[in-house]
Amino acid sequence: MVVSSAPPERSEQGRPRARPLLTVSVSFSTGVVVVAVGAGLGVRHLQLEGATPLALVWGSALVVGLVLLVASGRRLWRRLRGRRWVWFVPVVAVSLLAAWSIAFAVMATVVPSTPLDRRGLGPAAVVYRDVSLTTEDGVVLSAWWVPSAHGAAVVLLHGSGENRSATLGAAAVLLRHGYGVLLLDARGHGDSSGSGMDLGWYGDSDVGAAVSFMRADRSVDASRIAVLGLSMGGEEAIGAAAAHPEIRAVVAEGARSRTAEDKDTWLPGGAPGAVQRVIDRVTYGLVDLLTATGPPMSMCEAVARARETRFLLVVAGSAPDEQGAAAAIRSAAPSRVSVWTVAGAAHTGGLRTAPTEWENRVVTFLDRTLTPS
């Protein structure tokens, strides 16, 4: 038997031609990345800003990426020949997971603007004063401030993709009971400067600036400061309690997770949970690469460290992730963490679903916890 070892095919210039399979694989991988980035930016910009030129640009990138992905996927299918099912299915599965991780990381770290809506500021008798705060790393934050009538005050934190106007309902409730309120725009949101980050990893710094502002105001008793947050804001509030011992009370509604460690506490066991944990490690690792700051401590660890703080967790009745997160957080300090599940509520919808009970529970919790020493 004669075995022929033919040299690789060469181009007219004498250089070896690129291997077809390698070329197709690179094309396919490029399509995955373009689709992920286009989805992460295009969908988010369209959701928050509408059909702006930037949203259309990233939306077009998504379409181009899909075309490239389909075309290169077909060529890859033909190239694999008899090995199709052995290789193609795992390649597609890994590619989809990679696309999800990249899209999530980009979406969380490249945040579109969230223009402030000044309508609906409440009754004319309430004057929300515009104030500016400066964080320890030099970022200027914008907020509305109403002084306290009896010495206790609450920082209000909105969720991802929102701004301080999302906390106006909670502010109105607290103002009826004499609390001072500081409605804060997270960095990169509303009128605040800095780069936005939709997992709240800058929360300790932003809330620290808010607490310092309150401590300097004559209407506030420095020993009677609380933080109330919605979704991302609730997660920031929990984390900030460990960094700022001045925070006596935290009301966190809709807190779920902002790190892989947070999700690990309530994910299921078995193969599905194991796969999800691997995906989360990759996803949050990419987020860390795209963010100037590092990941914060888990919410369970923050609660355990915040030994002087009491927590009220408000949970949507139909949200298993919120229920799982709340149970895990409560287990870190059962004597200091209370959980209220609002039947029939959507995510952060407690006040809309049960306004009277929300007011009674939240105000009673704050009154009891912020009693003058």
Q: Give one DSSP letter per residue of 170-220, joined into a string.
A: HHHHHHHTT-EEEEEPPTTSTT--S---TT-TTHHHHHHHHHHHHHHSTT-
Reported in sequence order, the residue ranges of 219-309 that DSSP labels E, i.e. its strands, are: 225-230, 247-253
Q: Are residues 140 and 257 in the same domain?
A: yes
Q: Which domain holds residue 27?
A: 20-109
> Within a domain: residue 281?
no
Mean pLDDT to the nearest integer, 333-349: 96
Looking at residue 3, its pLDDT comes to 44
N-terminal to C-terminal alpha carbon distance within the chain: 96
Selection from 212, 176, 215, 216 nearest residue 366 by Cα = 176
Q: Are residues 57 and 144 in the same domain?
A: no
> Within a domain: residue 246?
yes
Q: CA 249 to CA 306: how far, in whole Å? A: 10
Selection from 319, 260, 269 nearest residue 295 by Cα = 260
CA 22 to chain centre: 37
Alpha-carbon radius of gyration of the chain? 25
> Within a domain: residue 60?
yes
Cβ within 8 Å of residue 85, ≥6 positions away: none
User: 81, 109, 137: which is the final residue of a domain?
Assistant: 109
> Within a domain: residue 185?
yes
Residue pLDDT, tens place only, 269-306: 888 888 889 889 999 999 999 898 999 999 999 999 99
Residue pLDDT, tens place only, 34-62: 777 777 776 776 666 666 666 667 667 77
Overall number of domains in the chain: 2
